[in-house]
Amino acid sequence: MTTMMLNWPEWQGGMNPDYQMGNRVLRAIVPEILDALQVNVPVSPDANKKSGIDGGVQLANQQQFARDALVKNKPQRVITLGGDCAVSEVPFDYLNGRYPDDFGVIWLDAHPDISTISDTHHLHEMVVADLLHASNSEFAQQVQNPLRPAQVFFAGLTVAALRPMDQLVRDMGLATATPQQLRQGHPIQDWLVAHAIRHVALHFDLDVLDPDDFRSILPAKPHFDRAQFGAAIGSMTLDQVIALLTNVSHQADLVGLSIAEHMPWDALNLHRGLNQLPIFNGGRQS
């Protein structure tokens, strides 16, 4: 068995239950892999705080389920469909252990997700810090194959908008490229060569995309004033991202791909509207 697909509608990492609908729609979108092992991670409807992390009880249980499935089946490649960004923590840890000599992570995101337990109580904002053993969180202690700073590249990052909670990017000297730098040169390809990286896991947070180009992300909420978003908004187009993924796949073996934070507003709003109709509630008013 070479490929495992983890279907993981996790929402507690960002405390947003709508990510569950995002996963359901995403599963219908991604190409089918006939010989892949499909693993559905059971996700609880509850969110109980643990060790300073919202939903920490459920997040720990869900991570352990995914970790056990990976250890048991030992796939060569892992595709993970989120859910929030924290779904990359376990598969990337596993893949770093499987390819210990030439493995790297490309984090394609407008935000670095590298906060510490002192900065946030949301797991999806500290997943990279966990993987680097730099978050001081209980979840970092479960990472068995921590990354070195040289193994991480932040692509599409809005560096000028880094917040105090993002400062580990600079403090640890991590490689970065803004959307403009990605358009003008080949920083990822140069990084792969410089560090002799032959196996790559890529985290694709859909928030790296421009909400005018791709409308199924948080800041693309209909009638929302984006000036009130409170964080960096992506500016890449889907065509640019697909070209980036294609180029990486030609230069290295793409052994991990996570797609996270899909927010299909039209599907969500239609679902909520229809749910108000008695015909969907056994004739009862909802």
**158-203 pLDDT per residue, tens:** 888 899 999 999 999 999 999 999 999 999 999 999 999 999 999 9
Share of the chain above pLDDT 70, in %: 99
Q: 183 and 135 in contact (C-beta within 8 Å)?
A: no
| CA pair distance 68, 81, nearest whole angstrom | 17
Dist. CA 232–CA 222, nearest whole Å: 18
Fold of 3-280: Arginase; Chain A (3.40.800)
Domain regions of the chain by residue span: 3-280
pLDDT at residue 160, as a whole number: 86
pLDDT of 1 reads: 64
Q: In angstroms, rounded to a whole number, what is the distance separating the alpha carbons of residues 248 and 119?
A: 32
pLDDT at 281: 84
Chunked mean pLDDT (size 10), the chain, 286 residues: 94 98 97 94 98 97 98 98 98 98 97 96 98 97 98 94 94 96 95 98 98 97 93 95 97 98 98 95 72
Q: Tens of pLDDT along 223-234? A: 999 999 989 999
User: Could you tell me the pTM of the whole model?
Assistant: 0.96
